[in-house]
Amino acid sequence: MTTLSPPLRRGSLAWMVSDYWEMVRRSLVHIRHDPEQLINVTLQPVLTIILMNYLLGGAISTGGHEHYIDYVMPGVLVVAIAFAAVTTATSVAADLQDGVVDRFRTLPIAKSAVIAGHVVADLIRSGFGVVVTTGVGIAVGFRPHASIGGWVATAGLLVLVALGLSWLAALIGLLGRSLEVTQQLSALIILPVFFSSALVPTDTMPGWLRVVLANQPVTQAVDALRALLLNQPFGNHLWMALIEFGAITLAAGAFAGVLFRRSTL
Query: Which of 92-106, 132-146, 199-213, 217-231 comes out lowest in average pLDDT?
Result: 92-106
The string over 187-209, giving b where at least 16 C-beta atoms fall within 10 Å of a residue's C-beta and e elsewhere, is: eebbebbebbbbbbbbeebeeee
Query: Which of 18-22, 77-81, 106-110, 140-144 comes out lowest in average pLDDT?
Result: 106-110
Calpha distance 79→38 (Å, rounded) = 14
Strands (E), the chain: none
Mean pLDDT of 59-63: 69
Q: 82: helix, coil or strand? A: helix
pLDDT category at 1 given cuts 50, 70, 90 is: very low
Share of the chain above pLDDT 70, in %: 86
pLDDT at 229: 93
Mean pLDDT of 18-24: 78
pLDDT at 234: 83
pLDDT category at 186 given cuts 50, 70, 90 is: confident
